[in-house]
Amino acid sequence: MNKGKVYLVGAGPGDPGLITVRGLECLQAADVVVYDRLASPRLLRHVKPGAELVYVGKLPDRHTMKQEEINELLVDLALAGKTVTRLKGGDPTIFGRVGEEAGLLYDNGVEFEIVPGITSAIAVPAYAGIPVTHRDIASSLSIITGHESPDKLDRSIHWDKVTNATGTLLFLMGVAKIGYIAEQLIKHGKPPETPVALVRWGTRVEQETIVGTLATIETIVKEANFQPPAVIIVGEVVLQREKLRWYEKKPLFGMRVLVTRARAQASELADAIEALGGEPCEYPVIEVKEPVKAEALEAIRARLEEAEGYQWLMFTSVNGVEYFFRFLAQFGIDIRRFHSARIVAVGPKTAEALQQRGLLVEELPVKFHADSLLERIQDKLQAGEKALLPRGDLAREVLPAELAKRGVEAVEIDVYETVLANSVDQSALEFLESGGIHMVTFTSSSTVINLLEQLKRSGIEDPVKLLANIPIASIGPITSKTVRDAGLKVAVEAEASTIDSLLEAIQAFNIERRMT
């Protein structure tokens, strides 16, 4: 059997956007991904289908796997012919023990590649508004481990030389030793009033920063019960934070938002949350797929073949547009055969999907749901007309029923089916159970129903109880009713039933939350 290869990849400090292009390529190519807790779970969405995920993370009070065992695991996987990506937080060469892992790979004749990452030593201070160098303040820096016991620190660190060697001192993993570190720096010449900052979980939604001086920082850390992991910054650059704290000013900073949309549609909402400073946690609970039963496909074909007989084409979702055109292509039906039909849509995204295919809608409702669409076009409807409604199998019956009341024949075709997603995102489930989710978003009634069902299948006895204390954001009144009917409360509701409006409501909620 041919030997595999191991990529020792720096994942960056936490924000998944900080992984390098090369690191992402290695992640996508891997048969096995070996990762630790300092690598963002969101990076794992980039692995190829079927790739094995092995968690070897370390917590302050326990090790999932000892370093020696991790080293052996990488060798064993490679010797079994696997392409392995070892995903490590920060940069693997800066206190990442990559030398030990690579050394054993070399000893066993395994090919490897070290892929640098953005180290927390520079990224975390930057996200806290602290540049580690500054032309007028600090032209050099030192990166120092703070993780060892005091006696080991004294053996590995020459305090008399380090203290004043550079303008900025950066200690990694030194929260528990902050008092001793401050004491040694003062003892060896640093003024007690030297500014100090500690940044915990930097670049992540949990980012927290405290500031003091060498004389006061130990007391501040104890009073705040400030826990690792954190980067310690010592030097005048800390004072730049007052002007440069850009990340913490983003409107969704501090929020981890559960996104329950279908995976194919979740990226729009997830990307927007990320751009606004929040952390999207994707937990797709529905999947949208094409019908497969022969009778369902024949029914769709038959209704589409009646193209010339429709006076209205009514689209209520982007998926309806997408699958409608898929079936036109599949059955060889020219869109121009619908020349007698006036086209209307519910919502700007649905209208945009039609526009991308060269079709302009005649009407958009003021509020983006079917009830409002009827109000908009009711004066134009005439008894005896025929309307085609390409929809999903779970679409509400309000529109067809109201059209019938007006003498319009509503021809429904289920061009897509909405089903419960098979995959379960374990990290999202863990965040839910640990209180790490700050808001749950629902963009349709089916996402509400299916999330509760998915949680039950995952072993949660009472999903409503689990979600009861998490603020819920709903895209509109119909979805909100489903939330309430399920026994949950709606914290915010989009003014218009759109993703943009939903995001505006979430932003307003978070800004108010941070002010209280």
**Residue 222 exposed, middle or buried by CB count within 10 Å (0-12, 13-18, 19+):** exposed
Given a cut of 90, is residue 255 above it in pLDDT?
Answer: yes
pLDDT in tens, 193-251: 999 999 999 999 899 999 999 999 999 999 999 999 899 999 999 999 999 999 999 99
Cβ-count burial of 199 within 10 angstroms (0-12 exposed, 13-18 middle, 19+ buried)? buried
Q: How far is CA 289 from CA 282, 415, 488, in A?
A: 19, 9, 28
Neighbour-count burial of 333, counting CB atoms closer than 10 A to its CB (0-12 exposed, 13-18 middle, 19+ buried): middle
Specify the pLDDT at position 372: 67
Q: Check: CB of residue 91 under 8 Å from CB of residue 10.
A: yes
Strand 52-55 to 32-35 pairing: parallel
Q: Which residue has the tokens 């052996």?
A: 72
pLDDT at 369: 56
The whole-number pLDDT of residue 402 equals 85
| Nearest alpha carbon to residue 400 among 390, 392, 391, 411 | 411
Residue 242's pLDDT is 94
Looking at per-residue pLDDT, the higher value among 497 and 153 belongs to 497
384: pLDDT confidence band, cut at 50, 70 and 90? very high
- What are the pLDDT digits (tens) for 122-180? 999 999 999 999 999 999 999 998 866 566 666 778 899 999 889 999 999 889 999 99
CA distance 115 to 43: 15
- State the chain's mean pLDDT as an integer: 89
Active-site residues, by number, are 36, 58, 173
- Using CA atoms, how far apart are residues 410 and 401, in angstroms rounded to an integer? 8
**pLDDT tens digits, 277-291:** 999 988 888 788 889
Once rounded to an integer, what is the mean pLDDT over residues 336-355? 91
For residues 391 and 415, the answer to whether their CB atoms sit within 8 Å is: yes
- pLDDT mean over 385-412: 88
Q: What is the mean pLDDT of residues 439-465?
A: 92
Structural domains present in the chain: 5-118 (3.40.1010.10), 122-249 (3.30.950.10), 256-285+421-515 (3.40.50.10090), 289-419 (3.40.50.10090)
pLDDT of residue 389: 94
pLDDT exceeds cutoff 70 at 263: no
Confidence of residue 473 (pLDDT cuts 50, 70, 90): very high
The string of pLDDT tens digits covering residues 406-423 is 999 999 999 998 877 776
Cis, bond preceding 471 (omega within 30 deg of 0): no
Q: What is the pTM of this model?
A: 0.78
